[in-house]
Structure 1
Amino acid sequence: MTETAPTIGIIGGSGMLGRAISLALLDRKVIAETDFWISNRSGSRAGFEQFPGIHVTSDNSQLADACEIIILSVPPGSASGISIDADNRLIVSVMAGVTLAELQALTGSSRIIRAMSSPAAELGLAYSPWVAGAQVDAADRALVTTILEACGGTDEIMEEAHLDHFTAMTGPVPGFVAFYAQCMIDYAVRSGIAPAIADRAVRQLFFASGAMLMHGKPTPSDHVQEMIDYAGTTAAGLISMQNSPIAEAIAEGLDAAVDRARNIR
């Protein structure tokens, strides 16, 4: 952003997701410290000691009065306690399950964007899809794109209902991957491999696999088929898994996460 960039505030800026987004914006110099606010219940600046110029408050209204862009990052069950009058402010919510219409009623603003992100934002590795309300203009879209690109990858989507599906993928995927990794580590340990070595190996393998998926040209489907066509050890494992209920189990897990996103409050 330029020297005339708008002020940004994050309500819930000390929570896991709010802090990750805050650090993404500050570390990548999207916003100057003196133009950045966070609010939390205690008014504590713990976790932000390296940024002495930011403004910290326990008063959401004080933040709303000072900021032109307000990011909402509180637990969905606490949304009703946000208590701000943010008419003509750009509101960017990363709260699961709180609709555009509800956000307008909660904040008094007609410039509303719903997004989903993850704590990987701190590393610039999050994927943050978003959907815009009817009163969001091209300038607002450019601002939210800049903010979310600091967190990683981002796309505007056109259907608000699809955000629940992205919530089910964006939030749980690190947990799903960790579960798969845990299964592989447990398998290695049962085979007699030292736990520390199994843990280190699987972490490195998952890191490398993610980088290959991100930067390689083949789609995941293409990559699977290439491995099967090679007819080696990977093919044997993949064919066994394709013939198992694992795909249905993953879909059921995602359906459960979607349902929770829609009924989280």
Structure 2
Amino acid sequence: MGPTGNAIGIIGGSGMLGSAITSALLGSEAFAQSRFWISNRSGNAPAVEQSSIVHVTKDNQALVDACDVIILCVPPARFPDIDICASNKLIISVMAGVTIDELKSKTAAVRVVRAMSSPAASLFLAYAPWTASAEITPDDRDIVPKIFGACGITDEVFDEQQLDHFTAMTGPVPGFVAYFAKCMVDHATSQGIAADVADRAIRQLFLAGGTMLAADRGSPADHVRQMIDYAGTTAAGLTAMERSTLSKTISDGLLAAADKARTI
């Protein structure tokens, strides 16, 4: 059955990530004919789910029975509490650290996809890598990129262990980017620039930088080299950063986050 005819259920669909994915799917033409179910602990529908095509329940099994595709969006700590039998269903998990084998064992499903996403899905800006069990069907392989494509950009990867590194890089909030921005704001204020001006300037800098980087075919390394070759003020700063331990510090932070993803 194609995506326009599927019933899609989102367990944990009222949380930050679940709501973002729900919003993206509701706004996508690819799923204009789909029916949606959402389960949460209250059974009540927040604003984004208040739609005539969305059924809200607190009964996870009722959602599973009614839907063809089930997206698991609960926090990983709540995964042991999910008690569902989803044999013959497509399970898509965006829970960090929960393996395909664990998903199969807990849900009785064999057609399983493990993925990452982020609340940026509500802005259609999420990046979602995904990997699948050997049992998924051609129809499954068609609908998964449509779901995550409605949320932003997606890629299939073929090594499940890489998902832990993507968890570190594309987690639920732009923590590492925000930290770099914080450091720049702190530097600006230490130089006497008003805090509100520094905040506004750095926000705009990251918006412009991210937008330009996304639109340009050049790699991040290409951009760095172009700036260094220009030999201006940015080159002086980048050269100092390249000579420092900044690259290793960033790598250490990402490795620590990936290690946490494996044991979460």
Same fold by TM-score greater than 0.5? yes
1:1-265 alignment runs, 5 A limit: 4-32=4-32, 35-48=35-48, 50-171=50-171, 174-264=174-264
Residues 174-197 of structure 1 show CA distances to partners (whole Å, capped at 9, x for unaligned) of 100001111111111122222111
Counterpart-to-counterpart distance in 1, 2:33 and 2:201: 39
Q: Judge conservation of contact 1:8–1:31 (CA < 8 Å) in 2.
A: no
> Which sections of structure 2, spanning at least 5 residues, go unmatched?
none
Counterpart-to-counterpart distance in 2, 1:213 and 1:207: 10
Secondary structure of the corresponding residue to residue 247 of structure 1:
helix
Deviates more, 1:33-42 or 1:89-98: 33-42
Counterpart-to-counterpart distance in 2, 1:49 and 1:113: 24
Deviation at 1:30, TM superposition (A): 3.7
Deviation at 1:32, TM superposition (A): 4.4
Counterpart-to-counterpart distance in 2, 1:255 and 1:2: 39
Deviation at 1:33, TM superposition (A): 8.0
Q: Judge conservation of contact 2:5–2:33 (CA < 8 Å) in 1.
A: no
> Which sections of structure 1, spanning at least 5 residues, go unmatched?
none
Deviation at 1:248, TM superposition (A): 0.8
Q: Which of structure 1's runs of 4+ aligned residues deviate more than 4 A?
A: 1-4
Residues 151-186 of structure 1 show CA distances to partners (whole Å, capped at 9, x for unaligned) of 100010011111111111111771000011111111
Secondary structure of the corresponding residue to residue 85 of structure 1:
coil
Name the % identity.
57
Deviation at 1:200, TM superposition (A): 1.1
Q: Structure 1 residues 44, 31: closer, same or farther in 2, change over 3 A?
A: same
Aligned residues: 264
Deviation at 1:253, TM superposition (A): 0.4
Deviation at 1:103, TM superposition (A): 0.4
Normalising by structure 2, we get a TM-score of: 0.96
Q: Structure 1 residues 75, 33: closer, same or farther in 2, change over 3 A?
A: farther
Q: Judge conservation of contact 2:7–2:66 (CA < 8 Å) in 1.
A: yes
Aligned-residue Cα RMSD (Å) equals: 1.6
- Opposite residue 189 of structure 2, the aligned amino acid is V
Q: Judge conservation of contact 1:33–1:54 (CA < 8 Å) in 2.
A: no
Q: Judge conservation of contact 2:3–2:34 (CA < 8 Å) in 1.
A: no
- Opposite residue 130 of structure 2, the aligned amino acid is W
Deviation at 1:145, TM superposition (A): 0.7
Q: Structure 1 residues 62, 240: closer, same or farther in 2, change over 3 A?
A: same
